[in-house]
Amino acid sequence: MFRWFYISASRLVDDDADDVVRDIVEVSIARNRSLGVTGALLFTGRNFAQYLEGPPRGVDQLRHSISLDMRHENIRTIAEGEYAHPRFVTWSLAYLAPPQLLSSRAEELLIAAEHDGGVHVEILAQFLCDVTVKGRS
């Protein structure tokens, strides 16, 4: 199992952001499933955080595609490499756009994970797990 966890800045216009992200998720669910990759996407309105896990080749294909996507910029890897236990086994892509109450907490976690790494990366990953509804996509 390989994981790639990144944070990026959104380039989306506020008026269209929800529809654009919904389209990203729809396409990503099928693509991730075909590559055997699972994970979660967080969109705060200003930033994205995405956790991808699966076969190294599948994760690498997605990483390449994501790096070319003009809907965001300034992609920063906060964790990558072999990882023993999958977090999103039943999700080809869990998606969450936290309500206003959680958005500020999500932004705090993004900043801490990017700047302090280590345990903060794991706290952000656990936040993604905790706020997604357990299920299958």
Rounded to the nearest integer, the mean pLDDT of the chain is 88
pTM across the whole model: 0.86
List, for residues 28-76, the tens digit of each pLDDT value: 999 999 999 999 999 888 899 999 999 999 999 999 999 999 999 999 9
**Residue 70 exposed, middle or buried by CB count within 10 Å (0-12, 13-18, 19+):** exposed
Of these ranges, 5-19, 46-60, 85-99, the one predicted with the greatest mean pLDDT is 46-60
Q: Is the dihedral of CA 6, 66, 88, 135 positive or negative?
A: positive
Average pLDDT of span 87-106: 78
pLDDT greater than 90 at residue 135? no
